[in-house]
A = this chain, B = another copy of it.
Amino acid sequence: MSSSTAITDRIALLQSQIKELKVQKQDATPLIDEMKSLKLQVAEQKKADAAAGLAAPSAGGEGGFQLKVPKGTKDHDPAATLMRKKIFNTLEGIFVKYGGATIDTPVFELREILAGKYGEDSKLIYDLQDQGGELCSLRYDLTVPFARYLAMNGVVSMKRFHIGKVYRRDQPVMSKGRMREFYQCDFDIAGTYDSMVPDAEVLSLVVEALTALDVGEFTVKLNHRKILDGIFEHAGVPADKTRAISSAVDKLDKVSWEEVKREMVSEKGLSEVVADKIGQYVGWKGPGREVLAKLEADDGLMSVKSAKAGLEDMKLLFDYLEVYGALDKMSFDMSLARGLDYYTGIIYEAITEASAPPSKSPVPSVPPPTTATSSSKSKSSSTSPPAGSGAVPADGEPDETSVGVGSIAAGGRYDNLVGMFSASAGRKADPVPCVGISFGVERIYSIMEMKRRAREAKEGTAGKKSGKETEVYVLALGGGLVKERMGFTKMLRDNGIKAEFMYKTKPKPPAQWKAADDDQIPFVAILAPAELEKGTVRIKKQVGKEAVEGGAVADERGEEVNVSEVVAYLRRKMAE
């Protein structure tokens, strides 16, 4: 950066000169223009440096190595971290409103705890090296650790939320927010309750949360494992192939039916006839009660016990969701299967228009109906949710990190997971049925970020990048006054006011003004020997960079205030 220090100094000088001109109500345009172009230079230089850092040759320097973060991970700068915190706070507020309590579990678990919980995705689990002692793996999600917690502590009912990072050795696609390290925000209800009541609570929470997060139009795709299994049984899928076929169906929102069918037939050894029978159903989706009626009219399917049981659940669920005013956000969707092994009841995924990648690919087409009633194409197009197509990614790769392609939240009911743990630990325990939701923060974040940029572009404003909340910058004009600035800053902080000063004994005024402007600190406290003599300082309201770059500026010189009255004065001004 040393190359650019000259420039930044020049910028600082220009800024103070511009200030001066403004005070004298003179035209500062030429200086402003020069400064702006210089700033642009600096910004580009910074970018270049960072890039250089990422691409630094391994040969460079003694014991040289690449200065980077591990593949699929990234640093979050102050602005990004602050935005994430806002998401967390919004979600947490709602989790608590629904009676949730939070727990904190280790970031790694015994390897055997995670084993056999994630179906085909188990290969994505990060293992810790065996350095002697137990074999551990980084957690893949927050659900399995929660189930382990319940079983281990003999807890039979709990409403818990957990916000934490999870880890998946997937092929990262940063642009799509698919990372190897990413946050999940989970809310789960454990306990033996009456059918669909907790399920309705969770779905109501999802709708409230996504509305509060302002992610734009969204839809919750909804299905039931029992109905899906019923369809497979009805179509003639051998019981031992059910899960395999299920995860094939799960890919329908990423690849075409043709591909899914090929996988079923050639890879999973399903007969063509059976596959086609499945194909008749998987395209069905739309408003809950519409699809419900269609399924109930299908006598063949209704003759399958599990399918009928699943439909009973859904009917009850829709009644409850109506009470919650959440029914119209749902899309009952036969193509939703969810990859994970542990789901036993309803499953769901929330998608949004905004979560569609820039370049859209066509909606996966479902083959033309062989019978009139199963006209999936027409049905799906007539009843498909607005966001449905928006959720299809540019490429066909699986995107697990945002909890399903384009989905920003996903979950379902898992009634046996806790019992599995108790059993395999050789303990007697009541089964602990669970239902829960996991919000994919990375995807939500990128949507909010997109919206923010759009807003700023429209309003021509630049968001505060520093991630600081400092309220007062304490600077000295004439003399260094370092101890005075220290003491004054401490006095402000002791009164709960966020204050800073420059850590130099004799800082130049321009440098101090620049520091205050760069972080857009709303107030500046000006310490000067003469005024301190009188026991006063000057408080100046800043208007951020605009103050320097041509915006309207109030009280250029600031107001003179008795030191003893500064706190009260500032509190008043801040409240304005």
Contact = CB atoms under 8 A, between A and B. Distances in A.
Interface of A: 1-2, 5, 46, 49-50, 52-54, 56-57, 59-71, 73-78, 80-82, 84, 96-110, 112-113, 126-131, 133-134, 136, 138, 148-149, 151-154, 156, 159-160, 165, 169, 181, 189, 191, 193-194, 197-198, 200-201, 204, 208, 319-320, 323-325, 421-430, 466-470, 482-483, 486-487, 490, 493, 496-500, 502-505
B110 A65 contact: yes
Given A99-B500, A104-B76, A486 B320 contact: yes
Given A46-B153, A50-B153, A70-B106, 14 more contacts: A50-B154, A56-B426, A60-B427, A61-B424, A63-B424, A65-B113, A67-B424, A67-B427, A69-B152, A78-B160, A98-B500, A127-B128, A194-B503, A194-B504
A81 B500 CA distance: 32
Contacts of A493: 97-98, 208
Given A153-B50, A323-B490, A426 B208 contact: no
Contact of A469 (B96, B427, B505): B96
Contacts of A53: 151-154, 425, 427
Q: How many copies does the complex hold?
A: 2
Nearest to A78: B101
B67 A152 contact: yes
A314 to B, nearest CB: 17
Contact of A76 (B49, B103, B497): B103
Contacts of A76: 103-105
A27 B122 CA distance: 61
A330 to B, nearest CB: 16
Given A81-B104, A103-B76, A425-B61, A68 B152 contact: yes
Contacts of A105: 69, 75-76
Contacts of A113: 65
Q: Which 4 A-B pairs have the closest CB atoms?
A: A60-B426, A193-B503, A67-B425, A73-B106
Nearest to A61: B426
A96 to B, nearest CB: 5
B126 A197 contact: no
A496 B169 contact: no
B131 A428 contact: no
A149 B469 CA distance: 21
22 contacts: A1-B154, A50-B152, A53-B425, A60-B427, A61-B423, A61-B425, A62-B423, A66-B110, A67-B425, A68-B152, A73-B106, A75-B149, A96-B468, A96-B498, A99-B499, A106-B181, A159-B500, A191-B503, A193-B502, A197-B503, A197-B504, A323-B486
A52 B429 CA distance: 12
A241 to B, nearest CB: 23
Contact of A425 (B64, B74, B148, B483): B64
Contacts of A422: 67
Given A324-B490, A498-B96, A1 B152 contact: no
Contacts of A423: 61-62
Nearest to A125: B131
A71 B109 CA distance: 10
A105 B156 CA distance: 36
Contact of A1 (B99, B429, B466): B429
A126 B127 CA distance: 11
A196 to B, nearest CB: 9
A100 B503 CA distance: 14
Contacts of A65: 110, 112-113, 424-425
Given A101-B78, A101-B468, A324-B490, A425 B194 contact: no
A101, A138, A189, A467: most-surrounded residue (chain B CB, <10 A): A101
A517 B305 CA distance: 41
A226 to B, nearest CB: 20
A64 B425 CA distance: 5
A467 B101 contact: yes
Contacts of A499: 97, 99
